[in-house]
Structure 1
Amino acid sequence: MPRAAGQIDPRKSEAILEAAAALFHELGGAVSMEAIAKRAGVSKQTLYNRFASKTELAHALAERRSEAITAPLRTDGDPEAVLTALATTLITKVCHAHKGESLRGVALMSPPIPGIAQAIYEGGPAASLRRISAWLTEQDRKGLLRVPDPDHAAEMFSSMAIGHGHLRAMLGLEHPEVDIEARARETAQRFIRAFAV
C-alpha cells in the first residue's frame, strides 16, 4: 500500500538512529551515511529525507538521550522523589554501563566533523540543563524550593549527581563501586536542603 504524502514511518527513523549509534560507537566520525542506511535497512534517500547529515544524526541521538535522562522531571511527585529519580538516571546513563565508550566516540568524531560537538552538546547536555532549570523554576514558583538562579542550580545538581563519573567514563577508567540508589537519594536530599524554603 503506498504511503500517504507527508507520512513518515517512525520505525524507520528509530532504525536509523539505532544504526547510527552503533556505527558511531564502532567507527567514530569515519562512518559513512551509506553505511548507516545499509545497517538501518533503509535507502540512502530515506536516510537523507530524515537526517541531512551526520551532525543532524548526532544531534538527534543526543536529544533522544536527553529526553530519557530527564524523564523523571515529567512525573508527579514531591521534589525529593523527582530529584532522586533524576540523579539515578544521570548516574546510570552518564557514568555507568558502556556510556564511556560512547563519550569517547563523540570525542574522537568531533574534530573531523565541524559543528558536531556543538550539535551534540546542544541536543544533549544543554537541553537537559534547560529542562532541569525549567523544573526548578516551577518548584520555586510553587514555593516548594527557593531557587534564585535555576540555571546555575541545574548545573550544580547534575555535577553533584555525576561527580567525576563522566570523566572516568570518557577516559575509559574503572568506576569505583557505588550504591547508585543511596548516592542518588543523598544528592537529592543535600540539594533540597541547600535550596529549602
Structure 2
Amino acid sequence: MPEIDAQHLAPENARSLRPKAREALKAARAVFLEVGYDGATMDEIARVGGISKATLYAHFSGKAALFEELIRVECRSVNANLYVPSLEHGSIEAELRKVATNYRRIFAQREGLDIFRILIPVAPRFPRLAKVFYEEGPGASIRQIAAYLAALSRSGQMRIPDPDAAAHQLLALVTEDIKLAGALAFPAPPAREADHLINSGIAMFLAFYKA
C-alpha cells in the first residue's frame, strides 16, 4: 500500500478544498507516484484514502479531474516558495542571484518533479493536463520574473524589449543543468560548479541587456 505524503498537500496549500477533497488528493498523489497515471484507479485511490467511491466522485468527476487538481495544488505549492524579485529589494545582480539560487534549490530538492515525471508519458493524450501544468507551474514563475524584468526596463536600468523571452533566457542560463539532473534523478552538481554557472550566466545576461 503506498504511503500518503501529507507534506506536499498540507491544508495551507489546498485551503480552498474541503477536507475530504484534500484527503482524496493525498491518496491520489500516493497512488499516482506508486503506479503512474495509467495504473491508478479511482477504486485504489478511494481505498488508500479511506474514503468511499461515492465521496470521491462527489468531489472529482474522474481520474483526469483528480490529477488536474493535484497538478494545480502541487504547482502552487512550489510557486509559493519561489523568490519574487523586486526593484526595492536590492541590486539587480543580487536579485537575479536570489532567483537563480532559489530555482536551483527547488530542482535539487525534486519539488514538483514527481508530478512532472507522471505527466510526461500521458501529456500527448491529455494536452489539457499538460497546459494546466505549464500555466500553473513554469508559466506562472516565468510571468513573475518577466514582470520584474519589465519593471527594470521601464525604469531605464536595463534595456529589455521582450521581458518574457528574457525571463526564459535567464532561467536557461542558470538552471539548465540542474533541471536535467532533477528530471533524471541525478545528484545535484557540486556547489562550486553551481556558483560558477550562476555567476557566468548572470554576467552574460546583464551584459546583453545592459541599458
TM-score of the alignment, normalized to the shorter chain, above 0.5: yes
Q: Structure 1 residue 45: deviation in Å?
A: 6.2
- Of 136, 143, 148, 2:156 maps to 143
CA distance in 1, matches of 2:90, 2:45: 40
Counterpart for residue 98 of structure 1: 110
CA-CA distance at 1:171 after TM superposition? 3.4
When the two structures are superposed, what TM-score results if normalisation uses the length of structure 2?
Answer: 0.68
Q: For the Cα contact (< 8 Å) 2:178–2:189, is it kept in 1? A: no
Q: Deviations over 1:116-170 (max 9, x none)?
A: 1121112111121111111110111122222111111011001001123323332
Is 1:29 paired with 2:17?
no
Q: Which has the higher contact order (CA 8 A, sep 6+)?
A: 1
User: Is the 8 Å Cα contact of residues 103 and 169 (structure 1) preserved in structure 2?
Assistant: no
Q: 1:81, CA displacement in angstroms?
A: 1.7
Alignment-mate amino acid for residue 192 of structure 1: L
Query: In 1, Cα distance between the equivalents of 2:92 and 2:199?
Result: 11
How far apart, in 1, do the equivalents of 2:166 and 2:138 lie? 14
Q: Assess, with a 3 A threshold, how the Cα gap between structure 1 residues 176 and 78 changes in structure 2: closer, same or farther.
A: closer
Structure 1 gaps, min length 5: 1-7
Provide the residue aligned with 1:4 in structure 2.
none
Is the partner of 1:44 in helix, strand or coil?
helix
**Relative to structure 1, is the Cα distance of residues 19 and 65 closer, same or farther in structure 2, using a 3 angstrom cutoff?**
farther
The CA distance in 2 between the partners of 1:45 and 1:91, in whole Å, is 38
- Between the aligned partners of 2:177 and 2:199, the Cα distance in structure 1 is 18
Partner of 2:147: 134
Q: Identify unmatched segments of 5+ residues in structure 2.
A: 1-14
The question of 1:188 aligning with 2:202 is answered yes
Q: State the alpha-carbon separation in 1 of the partners of residues 74 and 175 from structure 2.
A: 20
Deviation at 1:93, TM superposition (A): 1.3
Partner secondary structure for residue 85 of structure 2: helix
2:84 to 69, 72, 75: 72
Q: What is the rounded CA distance, in whole Å, between the counterparts of 2:184 and 2:204 in structure 1?
A: 28
Deviation at 1:183, TM superposition (A): 3.7
Match of 1:154 among 153, 157, 167: 167
How many residue pairs end up in the alignment?
187
Is it true that 1:44 corresponds to 2:66 in the alignment? no
Letter in 2 for 1:27: V
Percent identity, please: 26
Report the aligned-residue RMSD. Answer: 3.4
Once the two structures are TM-superposed, the CA of residue 73 in structure 1 deviates from its matched residue by 2.4
Q: Which amino acid aligns with 1:73?
A: P
1:34/1:167 CA distance change after superposition, 3 Å: same
Residue identity opposite 1:191 in structure 2: F
The answer (yes or no) to whether the contact 1:33–1:54 under 8 Å persists in 2 is no
- Cα gap change, 1:144/1:20 in structure 2, threshold over 3 Å: closer, same or farther? farther
